[in-house]
Amino acid sequence: MRIREVEVLVASPGRNFVTLRITTDDGVVGLGDGTLNGRELAVAAYLSEHVAPLLEGRDPHAIEDTWQLLYRGAYWRRGPVTMSAIAAVDVALWDIKAQVAGLPLYQLLGGASRERCLAYGHASGVDVAELIESVHAHREQGFRAIRVQTGVPGLGPVYGVASSAGGGERYDFEPARRGALPAEERWDSRAYLRHVPSVMESVRQEFGPELMLLHDAHHRLTPIEAARLGKSLEAYDLFWLEDVTPAENQEALRLVRHHTTTPLAIGEVFNTVWDYRTLLAEQLIDYVRSPVTHAGGITGLRRILDLAGQYQVRSGMHGPTDVSPVGMAASLHLGLALHNFGIQEYMLHSAETNAVFSPRFTFDDGGLRPSEEPGLGVSYDDEVAARFPYERAYLPIARRPDGTVHDW
């Protein structure tokens, strides 16, 4: 069996996605996700110009050898563009292997370790009243774990908050604020730090102690601010506090950890095991946020999570809408099989996205389960995709009160 064709598919059904389609000479078709939000065409060019010519004629079953060829053979290693491209190839090859075996992919990864993957949804509101309404709506949808984000008094729209009444799972920039240039938001860490504890207080008062609550600080705090936030939220028993600092400075987490018992999740922008070395060896975090898509595929992420498991650190795979249904299905197959699975982020895709990919994973009793059909359980409809051509779209940027660019 040989790889006959490698196609890079770029479309914007609700938002941009880069999908890799590998077809074998036997006609087996595998899909991989290479979407890198706001920098999509860099991965598409990396795949079509540099990777596709290496794949044609290769044995699709040689997944490990292909991974090593693309990782070591390029000389230039790591980074989000490279690792998203490798992920796209890796997942497409796993999809093919599982279809040939006639098994759902998770069976090839060791079989199911649980019934379903606990999932968390995104509740948000411009103020606390709207947030509470949004949390109610998510509970009605069946979520038992919910991320809560609100606007901050004195600031305008902020990261992770839908502006529509009642909140909802979509942020403004997904896709409404697309435009020629990035939208700019204001950010003030002091105002944020004053506000968040009162938000958690209101949510706990309304919903009681059982509901699993998560919160994302989106890399915006200094280590000492992060330590203070973690400490001030201890009484509200968060499931996790995410991305408190820009964690490429791994040692900075020592200070945060020293001051708080609030569980910490980090890593949606990380892509190899090297990004986690100190964080894991010193047990400075509790959850690994990398998804299959940005961390070198199932093969790459499994290396990170196997090491994490030795330190009782669990998975918390990134699952916003910019991880396509293909990437989401791959994360679910791995999550179902992993021993140290923790939780899966699940931000529902739009109807347009689902019309292109027809994902067959299911959400039930607060958890997700991948499809039982052979392979990943996702497909790609070219005709529907053709109705949604690529549109350049940037993530917003954040500026401090004096205009300085802040961490996004």
Positive or negative torsion for Cα 373, 374, 375, 378: negative
130 binds ligand CS2 (CB under 6 A): no
Q: Which of 28, 302, 345, 357 binds ligand CS2 (CB under 6 A)?
A: 345
Which region, judged by CB under 6 A, interacts with ligand CS2, from 60-68, 77-85, 314-322, 371-379? 314-322
**Main-chain dihedrals φ then ψ at residue 255, nearest 5 degrees:** -65, -45
Q: Is 320 in the site for ligand CS2 (CB under 6 A)?
A: yes
Residue 271 binds which entry of Mg ion, ligand CS2, none, CB below 5-8 Å type-dependent: none
Shortest Å, Cβ 92 to ligand CS2: 21
d(CA 323, CA 302): 17
Instruction: Find the part of the chain contacting ligand CS2 (CB under 6 A) among 81-89, 222-230, 244-252, 317-325.
Output: 317-325
Residues facing residue 216 across a β-bridge: 242
**Per CB under 6 A, which region of 84-92, 277-285, 301-309, 316-324 contacts ligand CS2?**
316-324
21 binds ligand CS2 (CB under 6 A): no
Q: In the numeric block, which tokens belong to residue 199?
A: 């938000």
Between CA 336 and CA 305 the distance in angstroms is 13
Query: Least distance to ligand CS2 from the beta carbon of 320, Å?
Result: 4
CB-nearer residue toward ligand CS2: 60 or 296? 296
By CB under 6 A, tell whether 172 contacts ligand CS2.
no
**For residues 169 and 268, which CB has a smaller minimum distance to Mg ion in the complex?**
268
Tell whether residue 268 is a contact of ligand CS2 (CB under 6 A): yes
- Report, in Å, the least distance between residue 218 CB and ligand CS2: 6
User: Other CB atoms closer than 10 Å to residue 235's CB: what's the count?
Assistant: 12
Radius of gyration, alpha carbons of the chain: 20
Cα(258)–Cα(156) distance, integer angstroms = 33
Total residues contacting ligand CS2 (rule CB under 6 A)? 9
Residue nearest to Mg ion (CB): 216
CB 322 within 8 A of CB 293: no
Task: Answer with the entry of Mg ion, ligand CS2, none that 37 interacts with (C-beta below 5 to 8 A by kind).
Answer: ligand CS2
φ and ψ at residue 205, rounded to 5 degrees: -60, -40
Q: What's the residue count for the chain?
A: 408
Mind telling me the catalytic residues? 159, 218
User: What's the token pair of residue 233?
Assistant: 């939220």
> Which part of the chain contacts ligand CS2 (CB under 6 A), choosing from 54-62, 318-326, 349-357, 381-389?
318-326
Number of CB atoms found within 10 A of residue 298's CB: 26
How far, CA to CA in Å, does 72 sit from each of 59, 61, 82? Answer: 18, 19, 11
Rounded Cα gap, residues 307 and 329, in angstroms: 23
Interface positions with Mg ion (CB under 5 A): 216, 268
Give the pairing of strands 184-186 and 212-216. Answer: unpaired
Of 286 and 345, the one with the shorter C-beta distance to ligand CS2 is 345
Give the interface with ligand CS2 as residue ranges (CB under 6 A). Answer: 37, 216, 218, 268, 318, 320, 322, 345, 395
